[in-house]
Structure 1
Amino acid sequence: MRRTKAEAAETREGILVAAEQVFLERGVNQATLTEIATQAGVTRGAIYFHFHDKRDIFQAIIGRARFPQEEIMLQAACCNHPNPLNILEESIVAALELFATDERQQTIFIIINERCEYVGEFAPVIERLREVRRNVGSLFTGLLAIAERRGELSGEWTASTAAAVLLALVGGLLNEWLRSEKSFDLVACGGKAVHTMLRSLRAGTGAAGKAV
């Protein structure tokens, strides 16, 4: 029985890996179960043993993926730095470093952001992506709110607007790096961009002004 379960798990994993490749090449909406079965070297029946349909496969891929933004949350939880702005910088840079070396996560990121139209049967899938954005946005806002209460955040910003811009910066870096076929050093350039952004958020580094 143990061997049977192990073999079933191996088959399921093979289907997911094959689906990732097919989705990358063909796009999620255009890909077929037959193409996935062929890529995985299994029958359509084997696919139906593990998954209800193509959307179920896609949801499984998304469900087990660790998004770069989620890595930021994990890094922040492990950071012992007392300054919330430093926690943000260190966590984001660490997440960029991990993403830059994880080709599978890069593939999944491309599939999710460029290879799927979230309409029809795939419309509900986008909720997972929204959940990630909400969670990371809450982390950013929470840390920036601490900085704001301590007087460490520039008066030109509120915690919520600063969090929104920082979230957009991270997403933009990841997307542009992949779309440009890694034409720049994600860690070096990304780290510099994040450092510059956070420096502009610190109290005493920008022009005094009204919160935006």
Structure 2
Amino acid sequence: MARKTKEEAEKTRQALLDSAFKVFSEKGYAKTTLQDIAQDAGVTRGAVYWHFKNKTDLFEKLFDCAFMPVRDLLFSKFEEDLSPKEMLAGLMRVWILHAGGDNNFRAAFEIMFNKTEWSEELMPFKMKFREYEYKFIKRAEKIIEQGQADGVFREDLVPEVAAAQYFSILLGLVQYTLIFPKEVDIEKEVEPLIAMFMNSCLKEN
């Protein structure tokens, strides 16, 4: 019986997260209430408070659900024994495939970019998110520096600038697919997209 109760609780929690994706996408953070989410999920408002402290907590858990698997996958690649070229290409490949085909990942970015007014209550979440972005950019800088030391990347590259460009391309691709979803299938164009960036970094033979 205890196992069934636990399973049912997890099922309710997931239903609330699914509804949060939907309702935040439709109404935006500011105009969404916990009652809206509870109603969409077919549960009581009390059930929401059983799983989440408040709307901000639910918002943060929603983004954890969407981004943590991708973040963990990206940061795990930093530990792989790859050349700088292979590393940057591999990270880019993971990102583009999720940006093109992971519905939760895309929905979370849609909410973040277009449906959220960054009020004071959301600042801790935003700063946590920015911290992960900064760590990623600094790791990219180190990879580019190593590529230069290996004689693979151009000597005239400024690692900070190249890493900023790299990160901007990744973020921009998500935005582009949200604004123009039918223009380019980035999942199918993943290798050309990677090649365009890598060719801007590689030393001429």
Normalised to the residue count of structure 1, the TM-score between the two structures is 0.86
Greater Cα offset, 181-190 or 116-125: 181-190
Q: Sort the Cα spacing of 1:165 and 1:87 in 2 relative to 1 into closer, same or farther, 3 A.
A: same
4+ runs of 1 displaced by more than 3 Å?
A: 67-78, 188-191
Distance 2:65 2:128 in 1: 11
Letter in 1 for 2:22: Q
Whether the aligned pair in 1 keeps the contact of 2:154 and 2:203 (CA below 8 Å) is: yes
Between 68-77 and 19-28, report the one with greater CA deviation: 68-77
Aligned partner of 1:115 in structure 2 is 115
2:144 corresponds to: 144
User: Does the 8 Å contact 1:69/1:136 carry over to 2?
Assistant: no
- Percent identity, aligned pairs only, is 25
Deviation at 1:185, TM superposition (A): 1.5
User: Given the alignment of the two structures, is residue 85 of structure 1 paired with residue 85 of structure 2, yes or no?
Assistant: yes
> 1:53 maps to what in 2?
54
From the superposition, tell whether residues 56 and 31 of structure 1 become closer, same or farther in structure 2 (CA, over 3 Å): same
Change (3 A) 1:94 1:47: closer
Q: Residue 198 of structure 1 aligns with which residue?
A: 198
Moved more, 149-158 or 50-59: 149-158
Q: Following TM superposition, by how much is the alpha carbon of 1:193 offset from its aligned partner in structure 2, in angstroms?
A: 3.1
TM-score, normalised on structure 2? 0.88
- Counterpart amino acid of residue 101 in structure 2: T
Listed as ranges, the gaps of 5+ residues in structure 1 are 206-212
**Partner residue in 1 for 2:20:** 19
Tell me the SS of whatever aligns to 1:31. coil
CA contact (8 A) 1:75 1:94 kept: no
Task: Give the root-mean-square deviation of aligned CA atoms.
Answer: 2.1
State the 1:69 CA deviation: 5.9
CA distance in 2 between partners of 1:20 and 1:98 (Å): 17
SS at structure 1 position matched to 2:36: helix
Give the whole-Å Cα distance in 2 for the aligned partners of 1:8 and 1:86.
43
Report how many aligned residue pairs link the two structures.
203
- 1:32: how far off? 0.8
What is the CA-CA distance between 1:182 and the residue it aligns to? 3.6
Shift of 1:188: 4.0
Task: Return 5+ residue gaps in structure 2 as ranges.
Answer: none
